Amino acid sequence: MPLLAEWLLCHSLVACLLLHSLALSSTTAGLHRASTGCSESCYCSESADGGRVVRCSNMRLAEVPHDLPNDTRRLYLDGNLLTTIPADAFAGLPLLNELDLSHNELTQMEPGAFRGLVPSLRSLDLSSNRLTTLEPEVLGGLRAQANLTHNPWHCDCRLQVAMPRLDLEPASLAGVVCHTSEPKDVGVDTGVPFIMVAADLDLCAGLKRTTDVAMLVTMFGWFAMVISYLVYYVRHNQEDARRHLEYLKSLPSILDRPEDILHIFT
C-alpha cells in the first residue's frame, strides 16, 4: 500500500507540473501577443530585414482578421476558409509588401479589396482558389507580381475587356488558364492560357451581334409605332372629314328657295 500511495503521489505531481507548464506557456504566448500587438488568430515574428511577419496559415479563418498590426510587411492567410475579400480589408496595412491568400475558397473580391496597397504591395498569391474572373475595380491599380494559377477561370467577353486594364506584372497574366469559356462555339480549349485565347479570338463578337440584333429590333419597333400613329392619324382625319361633309349636306341650301335669291340681289 505505501508503494501504491507513493506511486500515485508521484504521478499526481508530474500531472500538476505538466498542467502548470501548459498554463504558463499559454499565458506567456498571450502576453507575447499582447506586448507585440499581434492578432489573436495569428503568430508574429520579425524578419531578417526588420519587417513584421504575420502568419495566420491554416487557422480555419472565415474572414480577414481585423486586429492585424499596422506595421505588417508579410501576411500569410493561406489554407483558410475565406470565401470573399471585402472592401478595405487591408486598408490599415500601409507597409504590406507580400500577401498570401492561396488555398482558400475565394469566389469573390469586392471593389476596393486591396485599397491602400498600391504603393507597397509587390507580391500577391491568389492561387488555388475558386476565382472565375478579374475586375480592374477589385485590384485597384496594383502593380504586384501575382500568382493566379489553379483557379477555374471563365474566359468570356467580360474577362477579355478587363485584362488590358489590369496593371499587374505581365507575367502574372499567364497564370489565367481557361477552365470554361463563352460563347460555347468559339472553340476555346480547356487549359489554354487566356493570353493566347485573347490574341486570336474575339469573345465579344457574339455579344456585339446580339447587341446589333437588339438595336435592329428596337428600331423596327419604333418604326412600327410611327407607322401605326400615322395610319391612326389619317383614319381619324378621314372620319372627321366625312362627318363634316355629312353635316354640310344636311344643311338647307339657299339656292332651293327663290325668295332668298331675290333677297340677295336686292
- Please choose, from the candidates 53, 150, 38, the residue with its C-alpha nearest in 3D space to the C-alpha of residue 97: 53
- Please choose, from the candidates 148, 139, 146, 83, the residue with its C-alpha nearest in 3D space to the C-alpha of residue 116: 139
Q: What is the pLDDT of residue 203?
A: 77
Verify that 219 and 160 share a domain, yes or no: no
Verify that 109 and 138 share a domain, yes or no: yes
- Please choose, from the candidates 75, 132, 129, 77, the residue with its C-alpha nearest in 3D space to the C-alpha of residue 103: 129
Verify that 208 and 124 share a domain, yes or no: no
- Parts of the chain with a pLDDT under 50: 1, 3-5, 7-11, 13-35, 209-222, 225, 254-255, 261-262, 264-265
Verify that 185 and 59 share a domain, yes or no: yes
Verify that 219 and 161 share a domain, yes or no: no
- Please say which residue of 144, 169, 201 terminates a domain: 201
The whole-angstrom separation of Cα 168 and Cα 146 is 7
Which residues are within 8 A (CB) of 101 and not within 5 positions of it... i.e. 6 or more apart?
77, 78, 82, 85, 124, 125, 126, 129
Q: What is the pLDDT of residue 186?
A: 66
Verify that 162 and 78 share a domain, yes or no: yes
3-state SS, 210-226, equals: HHHHHHHHHHHHHHHHH
The whole-angstrom separation of Cα 111 and Cα 115 is 9
Residue 27 lies in a domain: no
Residue 165 DSSP class: G
pLDDT in tens, 59-105: 999 999 999 999 999 999 999 999 999 999 999 999 999 999 999 99
The whole-angstrom separation of Cα 246 and Cα 240 is 10
pLDDT in tens, 158-176: 888 888 878 888 788 888 8
Neighbours of 173 (CB within 10 A): 18
CATH of the domain at 172: 3.80.10.10
Q: What is the pLDDT of residue 139?
A: 86
* Structural domain count of the chain: 2
Q: What is the pLDDT of residue 36?
A: 52
Residue numbers of the domain that contains 127: 43-201
Q: Mind giving me the DSSP string for 41-94?
A: TSEEEE-TTS-EEEE-TTS--SS--S---TTEEEEE-TTS---EE-TTTTTT-T
CA atoms within 13 A on the CB side of 170: 1
The whole-angstrom separation of Cα 179 and Cα 190 is 5
Bridge partner list, 215: none
Residue 31 lies in a domain: no
The whole-angstrom separation of Cα 226 and Cα 246 is 30
Verify that 240 and 187 share a domain, yes or no: no
Residue 16 lies in a domain: no
Q: Is the peptide bond before 136 cis (omega within 30 degrees of 0)?
A: no
Verify that 236 and 191 share a domain, yes or no: no
Verify that 86 and 176 share a domain, yes or no: yes
Verify that 155 and 197 share a domain, yes or no: yes
Is the pTM higher than 0.85? no
